[in-house]
Amino acid sequence: MELDLVKYHGLGNDFLVHVGGDGAHGIDAVLARALCDRHRGVGADGVLRVSALGAGRVRMELRNADGGLAETSGNGLRCAVLAAVHSGMVAGAEMVVETLAGAVRAEVLTPQSSRTGDVRVEMGEVAVGPELTLTELVEPSRVPGVDLPAGGLAWDDVLGALPGALARRVAVGNPHLVVYRAGRYDRAGLGIDRLGPALQASVDGGVNVEIVGAPAGGETLLLDVWERGVGITLACGSGSCAAAAASRAAGLVGDVVHVVNPGGTLLVELSGDLLAPSAVLTGPARRVGRVLVDTDELFASVSDGVAPDGVAPAVGAVASAVRGRE
């Protein structure tokens, strides 16, 4: 089977987008993992499927790089919106996008003919949880001082790397854990590559993890992100909204926040209650190019990756699933 995809990215958070279709050929977990494999597949943080629902209304389905369904994504939404405009699926620059987390309004702010454009998305209500110390964060089933499942770090190491940090669980249609403190987050010590899995493992079911620094001034946040089902990404739109809302509730920022992701800056505008604000996200999305994938060739390539010890578990998992299809 041939699969026609278009690649987009939002500040380096990249997606393979399948536009339209009659629903006969879905993108399941196995296919999504194979497509997202950066060494034997095409390579992406996730796969989006965008389909028309009627005048000015589309549906976005997102599978992360591990094949799992995600409720929503701020960067994914901006890419989906731009793809819907570029493909002619919607007339005009405004639309409603339905996701597993609900429907949101969005608008492309630049000319429709542009390959790149700023996209504004009304992300809806953000639910901000109570402030916790990192010690209070650990579930009763977790014991500080021992290795956390899949974390690779002892909890004492996490506490030592983030002295004085506080945390809030935040929901932006999908779950987040925001760890923050005033001042800059020091990346010179343990980085998000080590802290992200450990912090994620501290919450049953897993979450997206944002580690945030708040320089003086109250308008800017510095953010590193570990995304559930993906790992390190260059940017996270819903995570930027979560970080801004948690930091606003803590008094570190105001209503308008520039969130500096590794891949660039996103604008988050908040209004309403401190613990249940509405969020609007604005940032760029860009079309990279069209990709025509022969899925038989793709699965053969991924299956070739089975091997020896030391190969990433995700590769082996995809290959095993592929063999099951054959």
| Model pLDDT for residues 160-198, shown as the tens digit of each residue | 888 889 999 999 999 999 999 877 666 656 789 989 988
Residue 223 counted as domain residue: yes
Q: Are residues 37 and 109 in the same domain?
A: yes
What range does the domain containing 229 cover? Answer: 127-276
CB 9 within 8 A of CB 264: no
Q: Rounded to whole angstroms, how far apart are CA atoms 248 and 256?
A: 9
Residue 87 counted as domain residue: yes
pLDDT, residue 204, reads 78
Residue 58 counted as domain residue: yes
Q: Are residues 135 and 269 in the same domain?
A: yes
Q: Are residues 235 and 311 in the same domain?
A: no
Last residue of a domain, one of 255, 276, 297: 276
Residue 270 CA: distances (Å) to CA of 32, 195, 275, 282: 33, 28, 11, 12
Pairing assessment for the beta strands 278-294 and 116-125 based on DSSP bridges: antiparallel
Residue 259 counted as domain residue: yes
pTM over 0.95: no
pLDDT, residue 309, reads 40
Segments of the chain with pLDDT less than 70: 21-25, 139-152, 184-189, 305-326
CB 99 within 8 A of CB 88: no
Contacts of residue 146, defined as CB under 8 A and 6 or more positions apart, other chains included, come to: 154, 155
Quote the number of domains for the chain: 2
Q: Are residues 221 and 252 in the same domain?
A: yes
What are 288's two structure tokens? Answer: 């990279």
- CATH, residue 299: 3.10.310.10
- At 61 the three-state DSSP class reads strand
